[in-house]
């Protein structure tokens, strides 16, 4: 479903109270540089955070909460400009207006240099935040969304007595941590995984994403993971390997299944930034060379996580990514020539990936607001298949996005969980139905 461009234009209004203390412009951080040239079609570079409430949304109070939250996160009010050598972000006086949901999750936001890079929408009892990845990563967007939901629920329920928490200074939230931790040295480099197995099947004819979500009790999933001596992320990665394997033809098992897993670098390098500060690791399993038993997949997956998630290897990847901007050969090349090169490098990288899995962790709200919330969800645009997971209270949310029409892998994933005694509620894969 295409976005209604007329609605998009009406939602942005000038505001003379723009925070003058924030930066008027900023370079894209190094993780963000790849998104403008490689974001197209279903792989829009946009992700969605959602919050399901136990009551209908009040649009007026949501707008008030958004306005209040943006005064504490003024660096989220940016537009992307096209420079001679790189894209860059520029402060804008525009303000987003909340609106009824009118487009699928992760639909494109960037429509030119006047486009805001975030959007807040609602549908019945659900509130959504869509954001272009050049503005923030998942952890940064979660910090903003948690602040927004806290402000909104505090307005809806003043009797809860919620105190809005102070945020880190803008200078810290908008810091480019890639530059902070970049060292001019040649670190250990990944040799790459070569070509990986790619999912088969026709894409959606409308060019959009197939959305499928599920909800389970996180305690049941953790119990299952602990029975195998695995962490939650390792366990879910192994189950996704199994689900993909069951859809593979025998002749396709000559290539490994490779899953890309984003890693929040804040856990390894101290940072309060809300900008992109993440890396990725790749975890592979070769069904043509190994048994394919879950225990073996878990063993291989756990070993790969242990090997890849070290400060030394993550620092080497951080240096490699940050060196993109410092490359003396690439720096003077005009953007018009850089874009095809970056687009081709993105294509080559995609050939080494089967799917992606991102565990964004826990959403946190003040305890007194928990009774008003059912749960949170996360979805990421993709050119293949991606699973995003998150937790709130005892609820574990699975958000599948895929460019394929079929949902066989996703349903096999959920079936495997139910076979282990985990109850999973699978929800509708279409969000934007008209109100009855």
Nearest CA to 72 among 142, 176, 139, 167?
Answer: 167
User: What pLDDT does 102 receive?
Assistant: 92
User: What pLDDT does 392 receive?
Assistant: 98
User: What pLDDT does 435 receive?
Assistant: 39
Q: Which residue has the higher pLDDT, 157 or 178?
A: 157
User: What pLDDT does 270 receive?
Assistant: 87
Q: Name the β-bridge partners of 216.
A: 396, 424
Classify residue 420 as exposed, middle or buried by CB count within 10 Å of its CB (0-12, 13-18, 19+): middle
Nearest CA to 13 among 61, 58, 63?
Answer: 63
As a whole number, mean pLDDT of residues 46-68 equals 98
pLDDT grade, residue 314 (50/70/90)? confident
Q: Longest C-alpha distance within the chain, in Å?
A: 64
Mean pLDDT is lowest, of 117-131, 328-342, 366-380, for: 328-342
pLDDT grade, residue 184 (50/70/90)? low
pLDDT grade, residue 87 (50/70/90)? very high
Contacts of 36 (CB under 8 A, 6+ apart): 28, 45, 80, 87, 110, 134, 339
CA distance 19 to 370: 32
Torsion on CA atoms 335, 341, 345, 347, rounded to nearest 10: 100
Say if CB 424 and CB 214 are below 8 A apart: yes
Q: Which residue has the higher pLDDT, 345 or 95?
A: 95
Q: How far from the centroid of its chain's Cα atoms is residue 213's Cα?
A: 15
Tokens of 298: 């878990």
Mean pLDDT is lowest, of 25-34, 105-114, 273-282, 315-324, for: 315-324
CA distance 142 to 146: 6
User: What pLDDT does 165 receive?
Assistant: 65
| pLDDT, tens digit (0-9, with 9 covering 90-100), for 222-250 | 999 999 999 999 999 999 999 999 999 98
| pLDDT, tens digit (0-9, with 9 covering 90-100), for 111-154 | 988 899 999 999 999 999 999 999 999 999 999 999 999 999 99
Mean pLDDT is lowest, of 188-192, 195-199, 203-207, 221-225, for: 188-192
Average pLDDT across the chain, whole number: 87
- Model confidence at 214: pLDDT above 70: yes
Tokens of 127: 């509130």
State the DSSP H helix or E strand holding residue 314, giving kind and residue range, or none if neither. helix 311-326
Residue 348 CB: number of other CB atoms within 10 A?
10
User: What pLDDT does 17 receive?
Assistant: 43
Say if CB 209 and CB 381 are below 8 A apart: yes
Contacts of 112 (CB under 8 A, 6+ apart): none
Q: Which residue has the higher pLDDT, 6 or 84?
A: 84
pLDDT grade, residue 16 (50/70/90)? very low
pTM: 0.89
């Amino acid at each position: 479903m295409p976005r209604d461009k007329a609605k998009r234009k009406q939602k942005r209004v000038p505001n003379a109270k723009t925070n003058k203390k924030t930066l008027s412009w900023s370079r894209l951080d190094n993780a963000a540089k790849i998104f403008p040239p490689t974001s197209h079609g279903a792989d829009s570079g946009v992700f969605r955070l959602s919050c399901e409430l136990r009551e209908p949304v009040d649009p007026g109070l949501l707008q008030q909460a958004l306005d209040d939250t943006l005064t504490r996160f003024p660096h989220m009010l940016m537009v992307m400009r096209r420079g001679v050598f790189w894209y860059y972000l520029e402060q804008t006086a525009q303000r987003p207006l909340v609106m009824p949901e009118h487009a699928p999750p992760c639909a494109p936001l960037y429509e030119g240099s006047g486009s805001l890079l975030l959007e807040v929408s609602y549908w019945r009892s659900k509130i959504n935040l869509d954001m272009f990845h050049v503005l923030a990563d998942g952890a940064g967007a979660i910090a903003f969304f948690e602040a927004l939901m806290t402000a909104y629920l505090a307005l809806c329920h003043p009797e809860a007595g919620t105190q809005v928490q102070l945020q880190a200074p803008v200078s810290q939230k908008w810091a480019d941590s890639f530059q902070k931790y970049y060292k001019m040295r040649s670190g250990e480099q990944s040799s790459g995984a070569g070509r990986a197995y790619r999912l088969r099947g026709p894409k959606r004819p409308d060019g959009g994403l197939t959305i499928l979500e599920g909800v389970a009790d996180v305690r049941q999933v953790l119990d299952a993971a602990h029975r195998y001596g695995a962490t939650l992320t390792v366990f879910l990665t192994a189950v996704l390997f199994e689900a993909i394997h069951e859809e593979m033809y025998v002749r396709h098992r000559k290539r490994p299944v490779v899953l890309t897993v984003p890693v929040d670098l804040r856990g390894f390098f101290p940072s309060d930034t809300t900008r992109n500060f993440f890396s990725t690791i790749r975890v592979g399993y070769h069904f043509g060379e190994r048994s394919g038993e879950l225990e073996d997949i878990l063993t291989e997956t756990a070993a790969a996580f242990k090997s890849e998630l070290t400060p030394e290897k993550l620092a080497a990847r951080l240096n490699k990514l940050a060196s993109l901007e410092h490359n003396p050969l690439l720096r003077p090349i005009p953007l018009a020539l850089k874009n095809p090169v970056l687009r081709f490098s993105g294509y080559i990288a995609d050939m080494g990936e089967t799917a992606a899995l991102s565990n964004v962790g826990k959403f946190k709200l003040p305890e007194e607001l928990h009774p008003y919330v059912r749960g949170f969800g996360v979805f990421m645009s993709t050119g293949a298949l991606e699973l995003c997971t998150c937790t709130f209270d005892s609820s574990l949310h699975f958000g599948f996005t895929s460019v394929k029409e079929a949902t066989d892998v996703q349903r096999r994933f959920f079936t495997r969980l139910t076979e282990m005694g985990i109850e999973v509620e699978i929800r509708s894969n279409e969000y934007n139905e008209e109100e009855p």
